[in-house]
Structure 1
């Protein structure tokens, strides 16, 4: 089941294979990929694989990745959703194009995803974030997520958060 989500300013639509070029362009933006892919430029094939995984997650678990559009002009400004974590809990992920930072869009989109995925009766939703990514840490805290641990993975400090459903 794939569902669209609307907020006061945003429309979130499930990511589709036809969105590959737009998604890939967004994900290779240097300011987005810095934290999302450890500054690595992913290939179009990797982006295609993420989209396919999202479709599978929608079918199997009811969640996946949504693309975020402004309602007022239909501009694609980012993505939000959940991936399946190692412990099988939904893992929140989001990113906003730098042209739209500091407008509250990440919080608005992630909050709507959190609310929707919480309704699917999971025990918790998790997230991890690079410790230097202060903006994302602030978003997670605004969402009511609590830090549960920290670790160093591939020489990068990560913080782990959890939201009890």
Structure 2
């Protein structure tokens, strides 16, 4: 939707604070910019690029707004689904509620994966799913050979010696 010609585009601290306050409530920039009293999204992005202080405040407000969206996710999950005239649960209402819940949860996991994403773990296993086998004897013998070569090098003081044959 195009903004009317009279939409504000001049930065003022009051207008900026109004935008930041709404971001902290969890509103999206798109939703804020639908308000005829607000500048366009492009204007706000221009402010972000041109004004480092506004960028820092914007980033902080978006972060706070994510917590508001997380609170909304819990509220949606706690909503009691609607009932039909016959007393049955409205399955369409339940599906809509689930969609709202899942969309917000996905949004949070993408914008703040450390806080709201699924925790991923990686497990490394050896052959047939067992423990990883480490051959300490070959490792110890390689370390001993390196140590002996270093001692010999130090004794002979010949830094040109090539150790690639034992590494």
Alignment TM-score, normalising by the size of structure 1: 0.23
Where is the strand percentage greater, Structure 1 or Structure 2?
A: 1
Where is the helix percentage greater, Structure 1 or Structure 2?
A: 2
Structure index of larger Rg = 2
Alignment TM-score, normalising by the size of structure 2: 0.23
Q: Which has the higher contact order (CA 8 A, sep 6+)?
A: 1
